[in-house]
Chain A
């Protein structure tokens, strides 16, 4: 028995990893690409996105917080009275995160 009958450890693991990314990396990234580059404090080095480690970093930066959102949103809706449709909500939220992951991966591959 390793609790493998449920996928909850997986969703929670992605949720908490996404939380770490959202808390530590996203703010830094907003400062760099949202403020520092537009204001000219840093050069706009587009070619950096051609490097694979940078793409991997961007993939993590984009994908993991999606699972953080999916998990939180799903629980928030259940707590607000949608407990009865917990299952379809989970499919919808985690499904949206999965879709976002695929789209992010696809775009990053084609950069």
Chain B
């Protein structure tokens, strides 16, 4: 197979030895079917073992290899070097997150947000086991299924200018995940989740830029989820005014 050589300009940051991030260039010979992650793995194995980044599945499933590739949030296992050749490729850690080292960002804030929307089925009353499972029709499954495809890659957060300005914003993936449970026919937790989703740092921060849905590799369309939660919340707010006794 013919090999060409491409330049990767990779952000390096080793907090114990440098105060600010620097850029290191690597010239990497690559076969046609290599993705950016393959080049990073090649660097790590053959050139410079000190380079740090996250990855696992190499097939767009685990969501751990998100990086900025030429300024765009991408899964590095899903972008081919040949599509950038002969230009150099700039590889940086995901925007809008604190960096721990090299391409590794601190995702603890994101994990807290995921938890805060209570992404599990909340029941007013649990059925006893003896009554069997909670059944769901294909239509009821369809209602939320595509919002459940998120792989927690955080590309949407790296793309979101609102999150860039305000790291407290609950953000696209977490709101979409909460909405996924609101839509679930087995769930009764909408009112409980509203404390987080309907908060000032929840849906109302979103100005509908829409970049989250553009970059999402799983077509979750978090922007749509956020707008729909806004509509639902505003509707319930009006209902609670005209029918204050109808509290949920």
Q: How large is the interface on B (under 10, 10 to 19, 20 to 34, 35 or more residues)?
A: 20 to 34
1/0 per residue, CB under 8 A from A, across B211-242: the answer is 00000000000000000001101101111100
Stretch of A3-11, A29-37, A41-49 contacting B (4+ beta carbons < 8 Å): A3-11
Instruction: Tell yes or no: A69 within 8 A of B by CB.
Output: no
Check B200 against A6 for contact (C-beta < 8 Å).
yes
1/0 per residue, CB under 8 A from A, across B131-172: the answer is 000000000000000000000000000000110011000000
Partner of B237, one of A10, A78, A79, A83: A10
Check B161 against A12 for contact (C-beta < 8 Å).
no
Instruction: Tell yes or no: B191 within 8 A of A by CB.
Output: yes
Check B230 against A12 for contact (C-beta < 8 Å).
yes
Check A79 against B161 for contact (C-beta < 8 Å).
yes
Chain B 164-219 interface residues, beta-carbon cutoff 8 Å to A: 165-166, 191-192, 194-195, 198-200, 204, 207
Given contacts A75-B207, A83-B165, A1 and B234 within 8 Å (CB-CB): no
Instruction: Tell yes or no: A13 within 8 A of B by CB.
Output: yes
Bound complex: CA A12 to CA B227 (Å): 11
Given contacts A9-B237, A10-B237, A2 and B247 within 8 Å (CB-CB): yes
User: What residues on A are CB-neighbors of B16 within 8 Å?
Assistant: none
Partner of A2, one of B166, B207, B248: B248
Q: Name A's interface SS.
A: helix
Q: Distance in Å from the Cβ of B190 to the closest Cβ of chain A?
A: 10
Q: How large is the interface on A (under 10, 10 to 19, 20 to 34, 35 or more residues)?
A: 10 to 19
Total number of A-B contacts with CB less than 8 angstroms?
54
Given contacts A8-B200, A12-B204, A75-B207, A3 and B165 within 8 Å (CB-CB): no
Partner of A4, one of B165, B199, B230, B240: B240
Partner of B236, one of A2, A10, A12, A83: A2
User: What residues on A are CB-neighbors of B248 within 8 Å?
Assistant: 2
Please give me the residue from chain A that is nearest to B166 by CB atom.
Answer: A83
Given contacts A2-B191, A2-B240, A6-B200, A12 and B166 within 8 Å (CB-CB): no
Given contacts A2-B248, A3-B233, A8-B204, A13 and B238 within 8 Å (CB-CB): yes
Check B237 against A1 for contact (C-beta < 8 Å).
no
Check B238 against A3 for contact (C-beta < 8 Å).
no
User: What residues on A are CB-neighbors of B161 within 8 Å?
Assistant: 79
Interchain Cβ contacts under 8 Å between A and B, 19 examples:
A1-B192, A1-B194, A1-B195, A2-B191, A2-B194, A2-B236, A3-B195, A3-B233, A3-B236, A4-B237, A6-B204, A8-B200, A9-B198, A12-B204, A12-B230, A16-B231, A75-B207, A79-B161, A79-B165
Contact residues of A with B, CB < 8 Å? 1-4, 6, 8-10, 12-13, 16, 75, 78-79, 83
